[in-house]
Amino acid sequence: MSKRLVAIMVLGALVLLAQGKKLPRPGWNLFSKQQDIQLGKEAAAQMEQQLALVDNRELTDYVNRIGQRLVRDGQLEEYPYFFKVVQEDSINAFAFPGGPMYVHTGLMRAAENEAQLAGVLAHELSHVVLRHGTAQVSKAQGFQILAMIGGAALGGGGSMTGALAQLGIGVGLNSALMKYSRNAERDADLLGMHTMARAGYNPLEMARFFEKLEAESGKQNKLVAAFFSSHPSPGSRVKAVEQEIPYLPRSDYGRTEGDLNGMKQTIGRLPAPAKRPQPGAGGGQAGPPPQTDQRPQIQLSGRMRQFQGGGVRFDYPDGWERVGTDQNGVTLAPRGGVVQGQGGSYSLGYGIIASAVAAEGRLNLSRQTQQLLQSLAQNNPGGRVEGRSERITIDRSNALISRMSADSPYRGARESIVVITVDRREQMYYFIFVSPDYDYKRFEPVYQQVTQTIRFQ
Ligand code: ZN
C-alpha cells in the first residue's frame, strides 16, 4: 500500500468521523430566541385552557425528572423548559417553541420502558433547541413576519400569538408551528439520540418505539395518528441509530427515574377529566385592529428619560410606558396613546417601537428596509409607503429614514409613521415613530430628539 493511499484512507476515516459527530444546529430564523420563548409562553397559556392537565405530583414529578435529566445530562441549550402531563389517551407529546412540553398519559401507557418515554421527550426537546417551529414559519411567511413579530404591530395584536393569528397561523396541534418536515424529523432524531446517550438512555429504544408506533399508525390506529401527522417518518429510524452508534457517547443505560409500571397504574386510577373543548382548533383569530372615537390630549413635558436594552440606548419622553410583552424589542407610548381591543390586542396611536432583526447572511440595508416597509404597509389598514427612503447616519452607522401613512386608531384620522432602519452588520435595528397626522407637527421635534440620542453598545 502506498503512503499516499494510507493518507487518503486516514483522511477518509477522519471525514467520516467528523460527519458523524456533527450535530444539527438551528437554521435560519427570523425570530429571535427570546421571541421563541415569548411565543411558546403565550401559546402554552392559550393551549392550557383546552387541556386536561394532570394534577398528580407522582406523575408530573416523574416526567419532570426525565425531562430535566435530558436537558442537564444531555447538555441541551438553556431554555425555560417545563413538562406537564395531559390526561388524554392518544399517544402523543408536543412542545412549543422556547420549551413548554406536554406529555399525554396515552404516551406514558404505550411506552414499554422509561427510555422509550425519554426518547419521545428527547425528540421533542430537539425540535425546541433546533427552533424548528419558528424556522418553518419564517420560511413560509418570509419577511412578512418581521413587522408582525418585531413591533407587535402598529394596529396589530399586542401579542406574538395575536400577530401570528393575523397571518392565519394558530397555535393548535395542526399549526405550521408544530408540523415538521422530514428533514426536521431527521435532525430531531439525530440530536435526540445524542441527548439520550449523554443522559444515559439507550437511543435504540427511541427508534424501536417510533417504529412500533409507525406500524400501529399504518393499521389506522387513531391513537397514534396525531403524532405522525405532525412528525412525518424520516425513514428507518432503527437503522439510523445503528449507523450513529460509533459516534454516540458511551454510557450506562440502566438508571431510571422511577417505576414506569407503577405510573401506569396511577394513570389508571386518575379520575375522569372534566369535559373540555376539543384541542387542535388552534388559536383565536385576531379581529380588525381596535379603533376609538375618542381623541386623547397627549401632553409633552419636554423632559426625557433613557431607555437601555437590547444593545441600544436612547432618550424618550418622560412618563411614557412600555407596552406589550415583546421581549426582543420595546414599544413605548404615552398614556392614551394605545387603543385597547379585545383579548389583549391593541393599536398604537402614539409611540415609539424599537427592535432588531437578524440579517440573513450579509445585511443588505435597503433590501431589508423595503421588506419591512412592505410588510408594515400590508399589515396596517390603509398602510402605504410615502416617497423614497433617504440615507442618514445614526451613531456613525449607515441608516435609512422612510415615511409611511396608515389609518389611525383614532377613527377618521390618518397617521404618520416614520421608520428608521440602521445597518449594524449582523442585525438591522429599526425604530418606528407613530403619531396621528393632526398632531404630527407637535411630535416631530420630539421624535427627532429621540433619533439623535440613539447609541449602540
Ligand atoms: Zn418530530
- The verdict on pTM exceeding 0.75 is no
Given a cut of 60, is residue 325 above it in pLDDT?
Answer: no
For residue 21, the model assigns a pLDDT of 60
For residue 242, the model assigns a pLDDT of 87
142: left (phi over 0), alpha (psi -120 to 50) or beta: left
- Ligand 1 is a single-atom ion; what residues have CB below 5 A from it? 180, 185, 188, 231
Q: How far apart are CA 394 and CA 365, in angstroms?
A: 13
For residue 94, the model assigns a pLDDT of 94
| Average pLDDT over all residues of the chain | 84
Nearest CA among 133, 99, 103, 100 for reference residue 118: 103
Nearest CA among 128, 134, 160 for reference residue 42: 160
Q: How far is the CA of 184 from the centre of ligand 1 (A)?
A: 7
Given a cut of 50, is residue 17 above it in pLDDT?
Answer: no
Share of the chain above pLDDT 90, in %: 50
Mean pLDDT of 423-450: 93
Q: What ranges do the domains of the chain cover?
A: 8-268, 304-456
176 vs 262, residue with greater confidence: 262
Mean pLDDT of 398-406: 95
114 vs 250, residue with greater confidence: 114
The three cell numbers locating residue 397: 452607522
The predicted-structure confidence for 214-224, as pLDDT tens digits, reads as follows 888 888 888 88
The predicted-structure confidence for 353-401, as pLDDT tens digits, reads as follows 888 777 767 889 998 898 888 878 877 788 899 999 999 999 999 999 9
Nearest CA among 455, 409, 411, 450 for reference residue 432: 450
Q: How far is the CA of 48 from the centre of ligand 1 (A)?
A: 21
Beta-carbon-side half-sphere exposure of residue 128 (alpha carbons within 13 Å): 33
The predicted-structure confidence for 222-243, as pLDDT tens digits, reads as follows 888 888 888 888 888 888 888 8
Mean pLDDT of 402-429: 92
Given a cut of 60, is residue 15 above it in pLDDT?
Answer: no
Which pLDDT band holds residue 91 (cuts at 50, 70, 90)?
very high
Q: How far is the CA of 181 from the centre of ligand 1 (A)?
A: 8
The pair phi, psi for residue 180, each rounded to 5°, is -105, 155
Q: How far is the CA of 228 from the centre of ligand 1 (A)?
A: 8
Comparing 17-26, 48-57, 143-152, 182-191, which segment has the lowest mean pLDDT?
143-152
Q: How far is the CA of 258 from the centre of ligand 1 (A)?
A: 25
Q: How far is the CA of 230 from the centre of ligand 1 (A)?
A: 7
Q: How far is the CA of 114 from the centre of ligand 1 (A)?
A: 19
Q: How far is the CA of 96 from the centre of ligand 1 (A)?
A: 12
Q: What is the CATH number of domain 304-456?
A: 3.40.1000.10
Task: Report the C-alpha dihedral over residues 347, 352, 358, 364, rounded to 10 degrees.
Answer: 110
For residue 160, the model assigns a pLDDT of 77
Nearest CA among 98, 91, 95 for reference residue 47: 95
Q: How far is the CA of 231 from the centre of ligand 1 (A)?
A: 4
Q: How far is the CA of 185 from the centre of ligand 1 (A)?
A: 5
Q: How far is the CA of 119 from the centre of ligand 1 (A)?
A: 11
Q: How far apart are CA 201 and CA 122, in angstroms?
A: 10
Q: How far is the CA of 137 from the centre of ligand 1 (A)?
A: 16
The three cell numbers locating residue 20: 458523524
Instruction: Answer whether 54's CB lies under 8 Å from 270's CB.
Output: yes
Q: How far apart are CA 182 and CA 369, in angstroms?
A: 33
For residue 414, the model assigns a pLDDT of 94
Q: How far is the CA of 85 from the centre of ligand 1 (A)?
A: 18
Q: How far is the CA of 237 from the centre of ligand 1 (A)?
A: 12
Q: How far is the CA of 274 from the centre of ligand 1 (A)?
A: 29
Encode the chain in three state secondary structure.
CCHHHHHHHHHHHHHHHHHHHCCCCCCCCCCCHHHHHHHHHHHHHHHHCCCCECCCHHHHHHHHHHHHHHHHHCCCCCCCCEEEEECCCCCCEEECCCCEEEEEHHHHHHCCCHHHHHHHHHHHHHHHHCCHHHHHHHHHHCCHHHHHHHCCCCCCCCCHHHHHHHCCCCCCCCCCCCCCCHHHHHHHHHHHHHHHHHCCCCHHHHHHHHHHHHHHHHCCCHHHHHHHHHCCCCCCHHHHHHHHHHHCCCCCCCCCCCCHHHHHHHHHCCCCCCCCCCCCCCCCCCCCCCCECCCCCCCCCCCEEEEEECCEEEEEECCCEEECCCCCCEEEECCCCEEECHHHCEEECCEEEEEEEECCCCCCHHHHHHHHHHHHHHHCCCCEEEEEEEEEEECCEEEEEEEEEEECCECCCEEEEEEEEEEECCEEEEEEEEEEHHHHHHHHHHHHHHHHCCEEC
- In angstroms, what CA-CA distances link 431 with 114, 251, 402, 420? 50, 51, 11, 5
Q: How far is the CA of 265 from the centre of ligand 1 (A)?
A: 28
Instruction: Answer whether 376's CB lies under 8 Å from 386's CB.
Output: no
The predicted-structure confidence for 96-126, as pLDDT tens digits, reads as follows 999 999 999 999 999 999 999 999 999 999 9
